[in-house]
A and B are shown apart, each in its own frame.
Chain A
Amino acid sequence: GAVVSQHPSRVICKSGTSVKIECRSLDFQATTMFWYRQFPKKSLMLMATSNEGSKATYEQGVEKDKFLINHASLTLSTLTVTSAHPEDSSFYICSASPRARGANEKLFFGSGTQLSVL
């Protein structure tokens, strides 16, 4: 099956620093990737849709200057949490779907990144 790799799996940083999270589709091309966020015991909330070669589309309430998304190639999207603060501590997960429309129902997820901001 398709594999989505996410790195790092865990990061602890000081308040005010920036953190970059990478999401790679290993065996398929993804024109679109998705970034989700999950708070403890809560649902996964879509933050933004990352589009290869164009600007990301952010969901309502998500600060685009805070969460920078870059989708430079068909296999890589990055999420940078800028000037991180303790309230940004959360579990971030990326997902992607193979370019072929027929496979879109099986959205594949990365393993997630647990961000802890001290």
Chain B
Amino acid sequence: DQQVKQNSPSLSVQEGRISILNCDYTNSMFDYFLWYKKYPAEGPTFLISISSIKDKNEDGRFTVFLNKSAKHLSLHIVPSQPGDSAVYFCAARDYAGGTSYGKLTFGQGTILTVHP
């Protein structure tokens, strides 16, 4: 049962254009959503996050949008740069209190390639 889904395994974008990565979830108890960037043979690095009480969070070139009614979130990168090429994981937290605050459910990842 895949509670967090990234239906696009890959995305190719021209440098300077916008990259839009999508993520869908099924668990309505998720209260926090995060995006991680990952290079091969490395651990994920935190990129940006959003609380379920918000619908938008922006940090420089990165913006995350959350549509709770559709159980959908997206990451926008603009302008895209070749250095953004990596695997992007969407993750969600189901806060059940106690020590579960760090328990994340990840999507399958989307490989972003930004061409010069």
Question: Which residues of A are at the interface with B, using a C-beta cutoff of 8 A?
Answer: 4, 6, 9-10, 31-32, 34, 36, 41-46, 49, 51, 91, 93, 95-97, 101, 104-112, 114
Contact = CB atoms under 8 A, between A and B. Distances in A.
A46 B109 contact: no
B42 interface: yes
Sorting the interface of chain B by its residue count into under 10, 10 to 19, 20 to 34 or 35 or more gives 20 to 34
B107 to A, nearest CB: 6
B46 A114 contact: no
B34 A44 contact: no
Given A43-B108, A105-B32, A6 B103 contact: no
Contacts of B107: 43
Nearest to A33: B102
Contact of A107 (B9, B41, B42, B104): B104
Contacts, number: 64
Contacts of B36: 109
Contacts of B102: 32, 34, 49, 95-97, 104, 107
B43 A49 contact: no
Contacts of A43: 4, 89, 106-109
Interface in B9-45: 9, 32, 34, 36, 41-45
Contacts of B99: 31-32, 49, 51
Contact of B44 (A6, A9, A44): A44
B73 to A, nearest CB: 14
B74 interface: no
A96 B90 CA distance: 18
Contacts of A4: 43
Contacts of A111: 42-43
Can you list the 7 inter-chain pairs with the closest CB atoms, starting with the nearest?
A: A109-B43, A32-B99, A44-B106, A97-B102, A104-B101, A43-B106, A43-B108
Contacts of B109: 43
B49 interface: yes
The interface centre, meaning the residue of A10, A44, A96, A106 with most chain B CB atoms within 10 A of its CB, is A44
A116 B40 CA distance: 16
B46 A106 contact: yes
A95 B103 CA distance: 10
